[in-house]
Chain A
Amino acid sequence: MPDTTRTAESDPTKTMDEPTGSTSSSSAHEVSPHLEPKPASETPSTETIFDCRNVDVLYSGKLAVAEVTAPLMKREITALIGPSGCGKSTFLRCLNRMNDLIPGAEVRGEIIYHGQDLYAKDVDPVQVRKHIGMVFQKPNPFPKSIYENIAFGPRIVGMKGDMDEIVENALKRASLWDDVKDRLKDNAFGMSGGQQQRLCIARALAVEPDVLLMDEPCSALDPISTNRIEDLMLEIKEQYSIVIVTHNMQQAARVSDKTAFFTVDLSAGESNRVGRLVEHDVTEKIFTQPEDKRTEEYVTGKFG
């Protein structure tokens, strides 16, 4: 169970009012969309799950993503959109320290999660990832049975309880149980791509994280499977905070509460491409009346 203590630091009003630093283009966090009543039925989130402050990512000393400052809200779906190479995936991977696995990668700045900086010296990335699960671009089930795929995580984190029950619950949360309950012992590779991806979601949910990071989870799937994953995301956001990277703007518009638009900054030259956060706001606003011209050009299809 996530046992990180919640402190006053995660109070959004505090983080909202902070001076937002250097990115003048990034006007998103000056707005406090969650404080105004949202037309949608669900109650807007009032707590941040990640408070990112001046996050830079460097690969072998070269800046790849610069100065991302954004509060990401609890129990919301935040979509990260933008053209290829804008650093949205790289940024996503900062949120559960997956970048640590890449030799030469370095993250600067702060990402406050439940009052703790994820990049503080004494933070163990392995512990971080137990609370912040991830689903990848291509379904990547283990070459094991469906049951073993789900049971893997709970076993390694030492979850107590009846494993059959844990597996069943995880599969039900990913609305996969009815599809596979009669063939739990079958190899996961025999499933369709969409089912494999839902299995990967179930596998991530089985260890009971409180955040799910999704890196273009539908890019390898057909529209019907994509639709099911989107429905699933909307179902589970009651309990989880979700951050999704997507190339598909319709998808961002359909599922997300907030959207963050990244772009590639070429001002330092073609070989020094740097990803920057341009605008982060309520999804509807990003798609209908964005503050920044670059956002408008991107969402209306004039660029990218």
Chain B
Amino acid sequence: MAGTPSTTQPAMGGGGSGPNLLRTRTPRSVGENAIRVSLFVAAAISVITTTLIVLSLLRETVAFFGDVGATEFLFGTKWTPQLAGEQQSFGMVPVLVGTLYITGIAMLVAVPLGLLAAIYLSEYAPPRVRKIIKPILEVLAGVPTIVFGFFALTFITPELLRPLLGPEVQQSNQLAAGLLVGLLVLPTIASVAEDAMTAVPYSLREGAFGMGASRLIVSLRVVFPAALSGIIAALVLGASRAIGETLVILLAGGSGQLLPQIVTDPTQASGSMAAFIASTATGDAPTGSIEFETIFAVGFTLFVICLVLNLLSIRLVGKYRQVYE
């Protein structure tokens, strides 16, 4: 019932007349404050959670480096953390190479296909086709990754790779994992890149068409460069997903638990950092043991890699960003 004083009444206090402009406490202003506070709490929770995760990672990682030298971990090429005694070695390079190898194959598949799909959808496809394909792409991006892994394990390797490349292809192999991770990130890259290209103002295309550019030239020499920042973002997003991908690799590419040397043969199993974490964490490494701490050290390294990748993309996106009115 905090009625606002009528503006026709003389203002209280001073001799001046006119509308009352003073702040008053009304039920509405209290409500506004409550909303502001709860929004702040929601924002704070996500920041705090992330900080706590990093801290807990960091604690075990520090404990790990009390036992294992950083040089051995970062540059050693023998990865046998599960073995006992003399055999145990913590050189992370093989599992890092495995991660990058599989990611590399995945990007070889996903980048050309994804960008071609994006160009088709944004520049060539009739509106009706686009309306159908774009949602399908977005749904594909949400297919559970275990499905892709299972498909690689039960179809790609036995039905495709072995008949083509011979029986020496291992059941888990980098090629199958890479191909499927590629298919997994393809819709993400296509969809985000397509958004970036569609966002390029039509007037730029008109300018180029108006001087006799073909559709191909408009796509490649006008739209593509103008959308470069968004396209880079799409590629980095795809690469981050590939690097962090766990299940497909665990099922079809190797667990990353036992890599006495770097694997360079695509038909052999390796594994990735994420697959290693998943397989070891679900194994029977006792809490507080060195094997247990290894998970955190690898996890922390993965975290740093993804962080660097994201910072890099923010810089690149900023560098190529073009603001249109």
Contact = CB atoms under 8 A, between A and B. Distances in A.
Interface of A: 96, 98, 101, 103, 126-131, 133-136, 138, 140-144, 152-153, 156-157, 189, 200, 203-204, 206-207, 209
The 4 nearest A-B residue pairs measured at CB: A130-B212, A134-B210, A140-B203, A143-B322
A142 B212 contact: no
B225 A143 contact: yes
* Secondary structure type dominating chain B contacts: helix
Interface of B: 126-127, 201, 203-204, 206-214, 217, 221-222, 225-226, 322
Given A142-B222, A142-B226, A143-B225, A101 B203 contact: no
Nearest to B213: A156
Given A142-B204, A143-B322, A136 B226 contact: no
Contacts of B222: 142
Given A103-B127, A136-B203, A136-B206, A144 B225 contact: yes
Given A138-B203, A140-B203, A204 B212 contact: no
B206 A129 contact: no
Contacts of B210: 96, 98, 129, 133-136, 204
A293 B221 CA distance: 49
Most interface-central of A126, A141, A157 (chain B CB within 10 A): A126
A99 to B, nearest CB: 11
Nearest to A127: B212
Contacts of A189: 322
Contacts of A141: 207
Given A129-B212, A130-B211, A133-B211, A156 B226 contact: no
Contacts of A207: 211-212
Contact of B209 (A129, A138, A157): A129
Contacts of B211: 129-130, 133-134, 152-153, 156-157, 203-204, 206-207, 209
A232 B185 CA distance: 52
B210 to A, nearest CB: 4
A197 to B, nearest CB: 11
22 contacts: A98-B209, A98-B210, A127-B212, A129-B212, A130-B212, A135-B210, A136-B203, A136-B206, A136-B207, A138-B203, A140-B206, A142-B204, A144-B225, A152-B208, A152-B221, A156-B217, A156-B221, A157-B212, A203-B211, A204-B211, A206-B211, A209-B211
A200 B201 CA distance: 16
A143 B221 CA distance: 11
Given A130-B212, A153-B213, 17 more contacts: A98-B209, A129-B211, A130-B211, A138-B203, A140-B201, A140-B204, A140-B207, A141-B207, A142-B204, A142-B226, A143-B226, A203-B207, A204-B211, A206-B211, A207-B211, A207-B212, A209-B211
A203 B222 CA distance: 14
Contacts of A152: 208, 211, 221
Contacts of A129: 209-213
Contacts of B214: 126, 156
Contacts of A143: 204, 225-226, 322
Contacts of B226: 142-143
Contacts of A103: 126-127
Of listed A96, A140, A204, residue having the most chain B CB within 10 A = A140
Task: Name which of B207, B226, B322 has the most chain A CB atoms within 10 A of its CB.
Answer: B207
Contacts of B126: 103
B325 to A, nearest CB: 8
Nearest to B226: A143
A131 B211 CA distance: 8
Nearest to A149: B207
B225 A200 contact: no
Contacts of A98: 206, 209-210
A103 B208 CA distance: 18
A144 B213 CA distance: 16
Which of B206, B211, B322 has the largest count of A CB atoms less than 10 A from its CB?
B211
Contacts of B217: 156
Nearest to A130: B212
A137 to B, nearest CB: 8
Nearest to A143: B322
A241 to B, nearest CB: 16
